[in-house]
Structure 1
Amino acid sequence: MIFSFGIEHEVAFLDQEGKFADFTSTKFADFNQIVEKLPIYPNDHLQLHVGDAGIRKKRWYIEGFERFADSDEVIDCLSKGIEIRTTIHSDIQSAIQELSDSFNLLCNVAAEFGFSPVLTSFHPYRTNFVPHPPLNEYELQQLQAYPDELTANIYMVSYGPDLNLSVADLPIERVIDIGKKLTYYSPYIVPFSYSSPFYDGQLWNGLSVRTFIRTGKRPATLVFVQDKEQLVNIVPSLTKVARLPAEIGRIEFKAFDSCDDFSIYAGLLALLKGLVIDETLPGRAITPDANLHQWSAKFGFDAEDILTNATTILQAAEAALKDDPDVNLLAPLKEMLATRRTTSHILIELFKRVGSIEAALNFTYNRGQVSPVL
């Protein structure tokens, strides 16, 4: 099998005053001045979707909720942070290297404007997103046409990666079957990424409030198909029509929390690769099991059924990879299973020690005297 890999990683920020930067405190222009100073690569548009509004011209773009006049004219974008996209790579390490390089560039430019990146997968203070002013008739019609967009109240307060992989020349029926497989096993593999223990200004009673609120209403996996006839008609979506030829056959895993240690992303991509190759695991689902995701979000690997199944899945992926060097990338995931510790555990301990959410978040992305990364 010939694989390709890509990563989309959302970055949240603290502003000059050390406050969490969001759609109520930070304008589009504040983030746009950062993106404007970042480079543009001439051939990226062949691999990366640009979109109608022109916001996504670069490897970095402002993630947010676009506001329209009573037509298709974009008049504003309520912003929650900046997303980094890698181009398509034939190996995992190259994708991770590009992500690291793009992240470092972003950090350097953002610092010039007083913004510093922090790791979170759910807004630590705001529990919901309500557009102001209220949506107009055109915007309401647009949302009704795309059911997944009706959950903007969730995605505007959540942060997470899309881990993308594809296999050359695989029949689309097989790709959709892999999407169903990853959707089924999602509750057992998402704890490797947990990093959202804060909610409504305090510690949440669990490890991933993002998973608890999001998964079930939003997809766990999305498969990009060539034609409308290949779509699986289900909400949340399992399939989506590709916008570029480069997207056809892409499997996009969307349920992980964000990671500030990119070696965990490498491990997760290797895990997904192993699950694509594996032929022993029988589970399939067209929509994520919301209850099981909520159980997983609360307890992670401390729940014996989550731990047992995660162990089985990791072993199956390892066996499928066999002599592939990518099998070595699974090491951080094995460590988490052995210790039952995730990044959320570290954030919780930091919060209890330093006494504020912002102070705890300031230790993420390897800043501060104590590293929170695994």
Structure 2
Amino acid sequence: MFYFGIEHEVAFLNSEGEFADFSCTKFTDFNQIIEPLPIYPHDSTQLCIGDAGIRKKRWYIEGFERFAEDQKLIDCIPKGIEIRTTINPDIKSAINELSESFCLLRQVAAKFDFSPILVSFNPYKTVFQPDPPLNKYERSILQANPDEQTAHIFMVSYGPDLNLSFPGLSYESLIDIAKKLTYYSPYIVPFSFSSPFYQGDLWQGLSVRTFIRTGKRAAAIVFVEKPEQLIQSTPSLTKIARIPAEVGRIEFKSFDSCDDFSMYAALLALLKGLVLDTSLPGRAIIPDAERHQISAKEGFNNQEIFAIASQVLQAAEVALGEDPDVNLLAPLKDILNNRETRACMMISDFKKLGSIEQVLKNSYSGLV
């Protein structure tokens, strides 16, 4: 039996219609949205809370935490608000929970003149520079964790973690699946592309997020129970589970954000099919940065990306067999047949409207 979860990052426009990033937004601006949202008492067994107390709810402020030399948390520079689902026994339940949490977030955010928008990479800022510069303790945190050294990318990129687990698999099998997902990542990420803006204008491609991020940050991660099960790599393919519920979780981290949550259902079904598949031979510990950059620029217009994506989608469909989740793959078939991603539509809208903000205001139009 599979289990599923979703982590979805939400970006916002503020009351002035400006993109609400770290340059113009404080922790308190987003915290006033978080405060009225409910706490569900049993979530702590499934969702990692952390030491800072920022992640107490299904919604929390995603950002860069600042510490004093005495190791006390003194600030969190905000990027946006993340929604986490609990662990669900099927894809539909995970999507329903995400939709309910998103609608509640949007209702509360509207009271403070913030509106959610679809963004997978900051359309104006290209890098995050901590101000003031990091102190000795903060530098030691980054040096101890190679993945933390890419905070300058993390703070300008937005995307989901699509999580699934299949209890009973050995940790060796889980690691093999993570290697498979890492290998095939550049061929499946175009299904989600939604970041065609860069430095206030159109970028020369479909996903600047994928172009800049993947290779430096992980495509997939599996959470293991014991230190001896870890594989040493940068970026990390394996991590130690922080709570028991994380053991055996596979996170796919390379997709762009989607504002139509049925796309997450399709992508989770694809990942489920790839877990079940036994035919695809490709494996990689580290994401292929060059292949991801080709994918980011050309998407399914590149013949190799298109051909292998078709092969992967077919393998997933065969592996799912009579499972009803096979029907969730339909939107992916349409994208592949038309070779048109969400980014293509955003580019077309921008050429008509001439404004990034106007394009972004059309986000999440299908969710009420």
Match of 1:25 in 2: 24
How far the C-alpha of 1:146 sits from its partner, in A, is 0.6
Paired amino acid for 1:46: T
Instruction: Output the CA distance in 2 between the equivalents of 1:228 and 1:147.
Output: 16
Match of 1:205 in 2: 204
Match of 1:318 in 2: 317
Match of 2:10 in 1: 11
1:9-50 residue CA offsets vs partner (Å, 9 max, x unmatched): 000000000000011100000000000010000000000000
Q: Are 1:132 and 2:115 counterparts?
A: no
Match of 2:170 in 1: 171
Match of 1:148 in 2: 147
Instruction: Output the CA distance in 1 between the equivalents of 2:177 and 2:212.
Output: 24
Match of 1:231 in 2: 230
Instruction: Classify the secondary structure of the residue corresponding to 2:151.
Output: helix
Instruction: Output the CA distance in 2 between the equivalents of 1:29 and 1:167.
Output: 39
Match of 2:103 in 1: 104
TM-score with structure 1 setting the length: 0.97
Q: Are 1:307 and 2:312 counterparts?
A: no
1:93-129 residue CA offsets vs partner (Å, 9 max, x unmatched): 0000000000000000000000000001000000000
How far the C-alpha of 1:71 sits from its partner, in A, is 2.4
Match of 1:182 in 2: 181
Match of 1:75 in 2: 74
How far the C-alpha of 1:158 sits from its partner, in A, is 0.2
Instruction: Classify the secondary structure of the residue corresponding to 2:223.
Output: strand
Instruction: Output the CA distance in 1 between the equivalents of 2:52 and 2:3.
Output: 28
Structure 2: give runs of 5+ residues left out of the alignment.
none
How far the C-alpha of 1:172 sits from its partner, in A, is 0.4
Instruction: Output the CA distance in 1 between the equivalents of 2:168 and 2:314.
Output: 27
Instruction: Classify the secondary structure of the residue corresponding to 1:297.
Output: helix
How far the C-alpha of 1:72 sits from its partner, in A, is 2.1
Instruction: Output the CA distance in 2 between the equivalents of 1:44 and 1:72.
Output: 27
Paired amino acid for 1:282: P
Moved over 4 A (4+): none
Paired amino acid for 2:133: P
How far the C-alpha of 1:169 sits from its partner, in A, is 1.2
Instruction: Output the CA distance in 2 between the equivalents of 1:103 and 1:291.
Output: 35
1:183-226 residue CA offsets vs partner (Å, 9 max, x unmatched): 00000000000000000110000000000000000000000000
Instruction: Output the CA distance in 2 between the equivalents of 1:305 and 1:299.
Output: 10
Instruction: Classify the secondary structure of the residue corresponding to 2:290.
Output: helix
Instruction: Output the CA distance in 1 between the equivalents of 2:364 and 2:70.
Output: 41
1:336-372 residue CA offsets vs partner (Å, 9 max, x unmatched): 00100000001001111111100110011117xxx9x
Instruction: Output the CA distance in 1 between the equivalents of 2:42 and 2:71.
Output: 27
Instruction: Classify the secondary structure of the residue corresponding to 1:94.
Output: helix
Paired amino acid for 2:162: L
1:266-308 residue CA offsets vs partner (Å, 9 max, x unmatched): 0000000000000000000000000000000000000010000
Match of 2:218 in 1: 219
Structure 1: give runs of 5+ residues left out of the alignment.
none
How far the C-alpha of 1:174 sits from its partner, in A, is 0.3
Instruction: Output the CA distance in 1 between the equivalents of 2:198 and 2:93.
Output: 35
Instruction: Output the CA distance in 2 between the equivalents of 1:260 and 1:64.
Output: 21
Instruction: Classify the secondary structure of the residue corresponding to 2:74.
Output: strand
Paired amino acid for 2:330: A
Paired amino acid for 1:151: T
Paired amino acid for 1:43: H
Instruction: Classify the secondary structure of the residue corresponding to 2:41.
Output: coil
Paired amino acid for 1:61: Y
Q: Are 1:249 and 2:242 counterparts?
A: no
Instruction: Classify the secondary structure of the residue corresponding to 1:308.
Output: helix
1:38-80 residue CA offsets vs partner (Å, 9 max, x unmatched): 0000000000000010000000000000000002210000001
Paired amino acid for 2:293: Q
Instruction: Output the CA distance in 2 between the equivalents of 1:134 and 1:269.
Output: 39
Which residues in structure 2 correspond to 1:254-333 (within 5 Å)? Answer: 254-333=253-332
TM-score with structure 2 setting the length: 0.99
Q: Are 1:44 and 2:55 counterparts?
A: no
Instruction: Output the CA distance in 1 between the equivalents of 2:54 and 2:118.
Output: 23
Instruction: Output the CA distance in 1 between the equivalents of 2:70 and 2:211.
Output: 35
1:219-241 residue CA offsets vs partner (Å, 9 max, x unmatched): 00000000111110000000000
1:131-155 residue CA offsets vs partner (Å, 9 max, x unmatched): 0000000000011001100000000
Q: Are 1:116 and 2:115 counterparts?
A: yes
Instruction: Classify the secondary structure of the residue corresponding to 1:33.
Output: helix
Instruction: Output the CA distance in 2 between the equivalents of 1:227 and 1:323.
Output: 36
Number of aligned positions between the proteins = 367
Instruction: Classify the secondary structure of the residue corresponding to 1:236.
Output: coil
Instruction: Output the CA distance in 1 between the equivalents of 2:71 and 2:312.
Output: 45
